[in-house]
Structure 1
Amino acid sequence: MTATIRIKLSIMMFLEFFIWGAWFVTLGTYLLHNLKASGTQVGVAFLTQSIGAIVAPFIIGLIADRFFSAQKILGVLHLAGALLLWRAASSPDFSSFYPNILTYMILYMPTLALVNSIAFRQMKDPQKEFAPIRVLGTLGWIIAGLTIGWLNWEQTDSLRATFTMAAAASALLGVFSFTLPATPPVKSGQSSSLGDLLGLDAIGLLRNRSYLIFFLASIAICIPLAFYYGFTNPFLNEVGMKGAAGVQSLGQVSELLFMLAIPLFFSKLGVKKMLAIGMAAWVVRYVFFAYGNGLGNYWMLIAGIVLHGVCYDFFFVTGQIYTDNLAGERFKSSAQGFITLATYGVGMLIGTLLSGRVFDNYQLAGGAHDWRMIWLIPAGIAVVVLLVFLLLFRERNTQTATAEPAAYDPIPSSLAQAS
């Protein structure tokens, strides 16, 4: 890669995740305070991420990998996304807000695969070249949160501006995308079945009993994950944390640091211990949230946020490595698409619907909430998932070649890279 291409790809990654972080972290607070939405409606709004994750394979598999260059599709999607975010910012109520954000997430989620596809196609050695570029995405998310906290938008009831800021960044990335390196379709003229697009050719991995346990645990652990995505920011603001969105960016800093340490931990601990530590971190995080507050136990709130790196990296990143090792060479891409569809599709779908109902059930007089119970419920779910996993999972180091069915070709590699 030339220095010019490296800079362009870094800017692309920065803007891609700045856009998402600019509005997604504070979405729950905005809906509850500005649009007077219910907890169930907040859950339905976050459900758009799962819907987008389910639809993304079709957009990537049917369009990006077969007909048009990835950078051009990226530009069109972000320009359309800018308009939708602008419309969402001007929506007076939830009923008019929701169609805009639903359509936006259906268009945005495929761009996560597209930016990775564009980057990988320019690299000779992705294992060395990708991380320094991808880290700009995490930095973009962090900068978005710090900007919201620095401008004090949460305390001044100005969160509508987060959508305007995201719309401007989306328009900028949309235009900038057309200057990115050419990334022509890789499967022009090839046909695909539904199984190709959804990664169902990797379903044979479930014949491995331990992988089946991991697969079900991955879906189940995404249920408490949905509580974090949907209601952490409203919780932190309600208990009096200043600049909550900025403080939440500590979670991304933690994620980045633990990501760098994953190879060391993996070699020392192995798959089962890594996955178990990740699930246990979910339990500890929610217990900290349940008993933390803006006074004497403020440290619990900070610790719960910082645990994000352990929660995400030890379970999800380790799980991706575990899946990759078991899949075999033919089905590496489709296996990653399969697990992503299950977690961010099925697991998050269940979790967002449940978290909204729990939030509504524990609303107190005067608009306050029984946050202790709201957080102890996902903590309890995580405990059950952890115990079942520890009892039933057996670590195996060998690949499961017999689990590779031959009915389909792998799904587009660009989608798999998004996970």
Structure 2
Amino acid sequence: MLALAALVAILPALTLAKPVDLAQRNPSKRYTGVLIKANRDGLCISVNGGTQKAVYADGTAVVSIPCSQATTWDINPGSGSVLVSGHNGFALDAGTNPTNNGPLKIWTSYPGLMQQTWYYTGDDRIAITGGTQCLDEGPNGIQTYQCTTGNTNQTRAHYHLELRLLPNRDLDQFLFLRFVDSFGVTPNIPTGKVYPDPPVGGGQRLHPYGRDDLCLSALGGAPQVGSEVEITYCFDNNDPNSKAQLWDVPAKGATGPVRIINTDLCLDAGNNPGNGSGLKVWTCYDGLIQQTWKRGAGNSNTFGLSNVPRRRARFHRPEPPPLFGTRERPDLAVLEQRRCPAGVLHAIVGAGHPEPYHATTTTIPITTARSLALPRCASTDMSDGEERARTTLRRSKIPRIDARTMTRPH
């Protein structure tokens, strides 16, 4: 075994010669709620104790456990740190002298600190920046080990789910749901439990189109002004976490705020809804444009920003048809309904991911669409008479889960 110092000299000869900085895979992107999964055994790295019993303190061990129980991680542009979701004061730390079989832990985050700065290599490994050690899944779990070409113990995948505003060709803004696997693995999306809404007056869950097991949720367990809003698994009405995913919504065809039940926190699209914008909850203000949503009439069950010309954001309470894939990419399930002249439904497959895939458009006759249980073209509440709904599931694995409180129900 070569000495560590010698390894530094030969690093360019390894496949690490052309690293891709985690923060630079998409410089405008903050990856939140990422699960980091080992290729070797399918386990995910987690703060010891998982989502239910983790202790967030300097020195707490990082271990390998089933992904359904694992805490998640955030990758922030500019630092290369891998931070604990919901506890961004703590970062993945390899210690002051990372060596083979070295343990991992969390520690107070110091951006730029060598043992906390990581990059993603061209062959799907996560390595310490400027060093020779990679995340490695050994027989006893996660560790650091010399980066070695072809070592499948070091091949990882991370997964997240986003809820973002994206443009279409008419420059409207659509809230869309997308599962993203950044490293090229395409297994099925695990399905969680489905829970009924509470009795009248107790709030309603808002689901991605066709996924009643997933809910629109304010993150962090105890929502407050500025809490991010994304998608998690749904929780039972008796679970305290369900309070973050039960909403008071306008009646069908009506306009108004979408409010977390029994709070003064409303769904907010920000001062200038635009490409890549996220959602949050904020103090409710009557009539504020970014908090004023119009709910579709009839069976459309969509929500769109009201009074924002040509900038509508939409999501769904499902009247779900089954999702569908494509012959070329069965892992994708993407549907965007557009103008329906002459009885034709246009399905946009693979839209919304700038790299490394590009959108392709398939025109499906209405007869075929009906056989796929897709809705017919129909009139809507939109002034231009277009029916639009986007559901995007991409290269999927594990949905967005908050590390502290949001875990997949068993």
Larger Rg: 2
Q: Could you say whether these structures have the same fold, taking a TM-score greater than 0.5 normalized by the shorter chain as the test?
A: no
Return the structure number with greater helix share: 1
TM-score by length of 2: 0.25
TM-score by length of 1: 0.25
Return the structure number with greater strand share: 2
Larger RCO: 1 or 2 (CA < 8 Å, sep 6+): 1
